[in-house]
Amino acid sequence: MENKFYVLPKLPYEYGALAPYMSEEQLRIHHSKHHQAYVNGANAILQRLDKARKEDAEIDIKSSLKELSWNIGGHLLHSLFWENLAPPGKGGGKPGGVLGDVIEKEFGSFERFKKEFTQAAISVEGSGWAALTYCKQTQRPIIMQIEKHNTNVYPMFRILMVLDVFEHAYYIDYKNDRAKFVEAFWNIVNWDEVNKRIEELLK
């Protein structure tokens, strides 16, 4: 069987569908250039590893794995990100279902969760992500502040929702104003999808 590689997923909506919170130009570049670059990067390293193994050649394992983690992390997080966004009207508002209950139990209110998640996103040092995760051991939703694509990650926690705060995610629409982008994000969160992720996890 042939070795498989990563593939850029199609968006579940048009490039212009998230406007005015995320413009067509911003989303097109983010998806077709930045996300694509992580897919290409991960595949290039896998190919390099394949080749070295076939020829039994030397390869710098440490730097290869570091680069692989960066690129696979980028690919997987972006894939989750696109799916947890939805056009305004369909997205935004408040979560219901199991997710709404879990958030309320842990944070006291949706507003409190929103505040903490917003602060997590705004305060990521350098480039990174804010993520809502779920810990099955404690049955708590826990916010994870990821630096780059792969630092501060809790192993085994299911990621329910992510927000990309790399500057490449918002510079066209918001220049350097990350806080304004994070505020806009709440209008296009696909709560149905995020709720689906926790329901699948708890099944």
Shortest separation between residue 104's beta carbon and Mn ion, angstroms: 30
- Report in angstroms how near the CB of residue 169 gets to Mn ion at its nearest: 5
Stretch that binds Mn ion, among 65-73, 160-168, 175-183, 193-201 (CB under 5 A): 160-168
Strand partners, 91: 88
How near is the Cβ of 124 to Mn ion at its closest, in Å?
A: 12
Whether omega for the bond prior to residue 20 falls within 30 degrees of 0, making it cis, is yes
CB of 93 to Mn ion, least distance (A): 24
Cβ burial 159-184 (10 Å sphere, 16+ → b, else e): bbbbbbbbebbbbbbbeeebeebbeb
Binding-residue pattern over the window 65 to 104 for Mn ion, x denoting contact by CB under 5 A = ----------------------------------------
Task: Give the residue at shortest CB distance from Mn ion.
Answer: 164
Q: Are 132 and 201 contacting, i.e. CB atoms less than 8 angstroms apart?
A: no
Among 107, 117, 166, 170, binds Mn ion (CB under 5 A): 166
Report, in Å, the least distance between residue 102 CB and Mn ion: 27
Nearer to Mn ion, 129 or 157 (CB): 129
Identify the burial level of 63 via C-beta atoms within 10 angstroms of its C-beta, where 0-12 means exposed, 13-18 middle and 19 or more buried: exposed
Helix H or strand E encompassing 178 = helix 178-185
Applying the rule CB under 5 A, the residues between 24 and 43 that interact with Mn ion are 34
> Going by DSSP bridges, is the β-strand pair 158-164/140-147 parallel, antiparallel, or unpaired?
unpaired
Q: By the 8 A CB rule, do 19 and 188 touch?
A: no
Strand partners, 141: 134
Candidate residues 164, 170, 173, 178; the one interacting with Mn ion per rule CB under 5 A: 164
Considering the complex, state which of residue 82 and residue 157 has its C-beta at the smaller distance from Mn ion. 82
Which of 83/164 has CB closer to Mn ion?
164
Residues that bind Mn ion (CB under 5 A): 34, 164, 166, 169
